[in-house]
Chain A
Amino acid sequence: MAETESYPPIDPTNFDLIVVGTGLPESIIAAAASTAGKTVLHLDPNPFYGSHYSSLTLQDLVSFLNSHSEIPKTNSLQSDDTTIVDVNTRPLYSDVEISSYDDSLEEHSRKFNLDLCGPRVLFCADLSVNLLLQSTANQYVEFKNIDASYVGDGNGNLMNVPDSKSAVFKDKTLEYSEKNQLNSFFKLVQGHLEAVKSVDVVIDAEKIISDDDLESPFVGFLDKMKLPPKIKSIILYAIAMVDYDQDAGESCKDILKTREGIDRLGLYHSSVGRFPNALGSLIYPIYGQGELPQAFCRRAAVKGCLYVLRMPVISILLNKDSGNYRGVKLVSGQELSSDKLVMDPSFTITSSKCLQNISKLARGICITKSSLKPDISNCLVIYPPRSLYPDQATSIRILQLGSNLAVCPSGMFVFYISVVCDDALEGKKSLHAAIDGLFSVHTDQTDSNELKPTLLWSALYIQDLIEGSVGPVVTTPTPDGNLNYNNLLDATSMLFKKLYPDDEFFPETSNTDSSDKLEDDSEVVLDS
């Protein structure tokens, strides 16, 4: 309903902090700064919340991907004491490929809530869940279980991931000896983590893993524990969620150390059973990942942050002499000042150093009318390196979601696929390999032997990975290639600490803070 022209001028015109973009890192910074008592203005050029972390309708997703894959231009203008630098949109997406095999999907466009940064899940014990609780933003989001995890191979088999003691017990594919090996390994890890946690007890050297082992590659440690290849692969790629082929030796870009591997197993296992009705370790927000930034924005609003959507920032005002940031100019023509500015990574100005592309991600979204497994609505599938084709260098992760998560119309399923890659060609090759492995592509003649879900629609795209940075303005990170938000949230809390070294990032007390409640609004005169 809103046209920017109908907006009244923004009042006040000076803030402690202006945040541009409503992605998860920006929203968390806005909420944390508002909670710390800063005056915050939160702007977004889009008519929706979430930026690159949002969940969109079918139509909006396609137009967002296309509009963020164009090449921008930049120029700057000098006036008496201020340098005015144009803000440009940096294309984060490239090689966007939309395929539709069923025109009827368009009619249901609004029933889809498609994640731009999928596949993504929360581990019940991870940082994002802790942050939701600590900030009390959890009251705006509800979750459901991811029912199962599978490891896939090139022959179309999906093997259940025995990720806990009870899952190992119930598993039908493992030999008795394999079950024993896996159980004793889980026990070893648990024993180690418990021993490390209890600092005041004398540590039993037998129970903990030696420092030598902790600093050596996890894959070698698994070999040392004599775990068979199948189980090794499950632990590395489907529980510790490692990206790169750990058996590639020297050529592997990122070798996971045992210490980190043990921590990831610990996170996985402590996630199981954290919440009474969460059966596994993974959960997903109803209505999509885009609910998370919105929850933090509402928290920020409740703490006094001012929200203006559909409001692009067209230029940044810098002090001519010092080059220091002073304020922003909006598309409405209004100029606003603030001490600090935070921008999402799709906005750039010339004076800031050219952001380096470190890596790329290939992402895919697929829609079908049937599930990979008849009785399972929401599940995770991992294709470890080399499982689909010989030179597959990284794991491919797929998340299947059903309509009980309100992400698609009833009777349909949405799949998210992602893989880290060096270039678009390699990334697309991996996506296509996964799609060929999971789905049958729509043809006129129906193959009655084909049990795979039929692909109705897909969007494949390459996303640039940009890390957060601090300059005249603070830039937040793009969504990364991980399943959970842990690294992004670490980066976000670091940015907050750089912005406000003296303020706490969501103090624990905000839990019991009663100032949210209307009746405790102490400034107002009450009469009854």
Chain B
Amino acid sequence: MASRRRMLLKVIILGDSGVGKTSLMNQYVNRKFSNQYKATIGADFLTKEVQFEDRLFTLQIWDTAGQERFQSLGVAFYRGADCCVLVYDVNVKKSFDNLNNWREEFLIQASPSDPENFPFVVLGNKVDVDGGNSRVVSEKKARAWCASKGNIPYFETSAKEGFNVDAAFECIAKNALKNEPEEEVYLPDTIDVGSGQQQRSSSGCEC
């Protein structure tokens, strides 16, 4: 399928507020990290070109724009996602417990055609904090949950130190690529009213 859609992979990042969703995106795309936390304002989506088997794809990574704070994301956010990344903070038990809710919310809202095989990736973030001493969710426990949900790939990451972030997103991109979009809707006759008007500049830094 030669449509624009196949070249563009939509990835959404879900998880409780403050687990590091924006930081992970920012570390992967811009290699930048900020210690100062503030609830996400001004984050929309970032794009990054990825190469896979000699073909170039655009990974479009969507931030929650803060709308997850009161679980108010809205169905449009979920639509057409090729991969859903679930993030929790290994130092906050509740953020891990909520993974199940986020996963279910995604499946209800996005209603993918094959929910059993829809690609998720789970990231346990902030493994750097306090040298791992404040950690409350063990890797074993996280892996067990991932296994019980159809062997979801699992990565332990530190957005701050850039640890495992590239590896995680490589897996995310590969899985997004495997997802088959609903062809009827994404046939190439889709009209993007922005094209020809103002070229949507790739918001990702190409450096």
Stretch at the interface among B124-132, B138-146, B191-199: B191-199
A182 CA / B145 CA spacing, docked (Å)? 69
Q: A133-B198, A309-B70 are in contact. Are A278 and B191 (CB under 8 A)?
A: yes
Residue in A10, A307, A404, A521 whose CB lies within 8 Å of B187: A404
Residue of B with least CB distance to A10 = B70
Q: A133-B194, A138-B193 are in contact. Are A519 and B36 (CB under 8 A)?
A: no
Give min CB distance, B110 to chain A, whole Å: 11
Q: A110-B111, A298-B65 are in contact. Are A304 and B30 (CB under 8 A)?
A: no
Give min CB distance, B60 to chain A, whole Å: 10
Q: Does B50 touch A at the CB level, under 8 Å?
A: no
Q: Is the CB of A526 within 8 A of B34?
A: yes
Q: Which residues from A are CB-within-8-Å of B111?
A: 110-111
Q: A145-B189, A306-B66 are in contact. Are A1 and B194 (CB under 8 A)?
A: no
Q: Is the CB of A144 within 8 A of B70?
A: no
A132 CA / B105 CA spacing, docked (Å)? 28
Q: Which residues from B are CB-within-8-Å of A7?
A: 70-71
Residue of B with least CB distance to A140 = B76
Contact residues of B: prevailing secondary structure: loop
Q: A138-B194, A142-B192 are in contact. Are A519 and B30 (CB under 8 A)?
A: yes
Q: Which residues from B are CB-within-8-Å of A139?
A: 194, 200
Residue of B with least CB distance to A297 = B74
Q: Is the CB of B196 within 8 A of A306?
A: no
A414 CA / B138 CA spacing, docked (Å)? 50
Give min CB distance, B99 to chain A, whole Å: 11
Q: Is the CB of B66 within 8 A of A301?
A: yes
Q: Does B77 touch A at the CB level, under 8 Å?
A: yes
Residue in B44, B69, B190 whose CB lies within 8 Å of A516: B44
A316 CA / B41 CA spacing, docked (Å)? 28
Residue in A142, A523, A525 whose CB lies within 8 Å of B191: A142
Residue in A309, A403, A410 whose CB lies within 8 Å of B72: A309
Give min CB distance, A247 to chain B, whole Å: 37
A7 CA / B203 CA spacing, docked (Å)? 33
Q: Does A459 touch B at the CB level, under 8 Å?
A: no
Give min CB distance, B36 to chain A, whole Å: 5
Q: A110-B111, A309-B72, A528-B32 are in contact. Are A516 and B191 (CB under 8 A)?
A: no
Total number of residue pairs linking A and B with CB closer than 8 Å = 154
Give min CB distance, A288 to chain B, whole Å: 10
Q: Is the CB of B191 within 8 A of A144?
A: yes
Residue of A with least CB distance to B190 = A142
Q: Does B104 touch A at the CB level, under 8 Å?
A: yes
Residue in B43, B75, B185, B190 whose CB lies within 8 Å of A518: B43
**Chain A, 367-424, CB within 8 A of any chain B CB:** 403-406, 410
**Chain A, 62-121, CB within 8 A of any chain B CB:** 110-111
Q: Does A501 touch B at the CB level, under 8 Å?
A: no
Q: Is the CB of B70 within 8 A of A311?
A: yes
Give min CB distance, A479 to chain B, whole Å: 19
Q: Which residues from B are CB-within-8-Å of A140?
A: 76
**Chain A, 491-528, CB within 8 A of any chain B CB:** 511, 515-519, 521, 523-528
**What is the size, in residues, of chain B's interface with A at 8 Å between Cβ atoms?**
52
**Chain B, 52-88, CB within 8 A of any chain A CB:** 63, 65-67, 69-72, 74-77, 79
Q: Is the CB of B190 within 8 A of A143?
A: yes
Give min CB distance, A19 to chain B, whole Å: 13
Q: Is the CB of A519 within 8 A of B32?
A: yes
Q: Is the CB of B76 within 8 A of A291?
A: yes
Give min CB distance, A236 to chain B, whole Å: 28
Q: Is the CB of A511 within 8 A of B71?
A: no
Q: Bits for A36-53, please: 1 = Cβ < 8 Å to B, else 0.
A: 000000000000110000
Q: Is the CB of A277 within 8 A of B189?
A: yes
Q: Does A303 touch B at the CB level, under 8 Å?
A: yes
Q: Is the CB of A404 within 8 A of B185?
A: yes
Residue of B with least CB distance to A405 = B185
Q: A2-B70, A295-B76, A306-B69 are in contact. Are A516 and B34 (CB under 8 A)?
A: no
A298 CA / B64 CA spacing, docked (Å)? 9
Residue of B33, B75, B101 most packed against chain A (CB within 10 A)? B75
Residue in B102, B104, B189, B193 whose CB lies within 8 Å of A133: B193
Q: Bits for B19-35, please: 1 = Cβ < 8 Å to A, else 0.
A: 00010011001111111
A141 CA / B101 CA spacing, docked (Å)? 27
Give min CB distance, B46 to chain A, whole Å: 6
A406 CA / B112 CA spacing, docked (Å)? 12
Q: Does A313 touch B at the CB level, under 8 Å?
A: no
A294 CA / B35 CA spacing, docked (Å)? 31
Q: Does B205 touch A at the CB level, under 8 Å?
A: yes
A310 CA / B43 CA spacing, docked (Å)? 24
**Chain A, 144-160, CB within 8 A of any chain B CB:** 144-145
Q: Is the CB of B70 within 8 A of A518?
A: no
Q: A302-B65, A306-B69 are in contact. Are A528 and B198 (CB under 8 A)?
A: no
**Chain B, 1-50, CB within 8 A of any chain A CB:** 22, 25-26, 29-36, 38, 41-44, 46
Q: Which residues from B are CB-within-8-Å of A304?
A: 41-42, 66
30 A-B residue contacts at CB 8 Å? A133-B198, A142-B191, A143-B192, A145-B191, A276-B195, A276-B196, A277-B189, A291-B76, A298-B44, A301-B65, A301-B66, A301-B67, A303-B41, A303-B42, A306-B66, A306-B69, A306-B70, A307-B67, A308-B72, A311-B70, A518-B25, A518-B43, A519-B26, A519-B30, A521-B42, A523-B38, A524-B36, A525-B35, A525-B36, A526-B34
The 8 closest A-B pairs by CB, nearest first: A2-B71, A524-B34, A294-B76, A301-B65, A309-B72, A307-B72, A308-B70, A143-B191
For the A-B complex with A309-B74, A310-B72 known, give 8 more contacts whose Cβ atoms are closer than 8 Å.
A132-B193, A138-B193, A142-B192, A297-B74, A304-B41, A304-B66, A519-B30, A528-B33
Q: Which residues of A contact B (CB under 8 A)?
A: 1-2, 7, 10, 48-49, 110-111, 124, 129, 132-133, 138-145, 275-278, 283, 286-287, 290-291, 294-295, 297-298, 301-304, 306-311, 403-406, 410, 511, 515-519, 521, 523-528
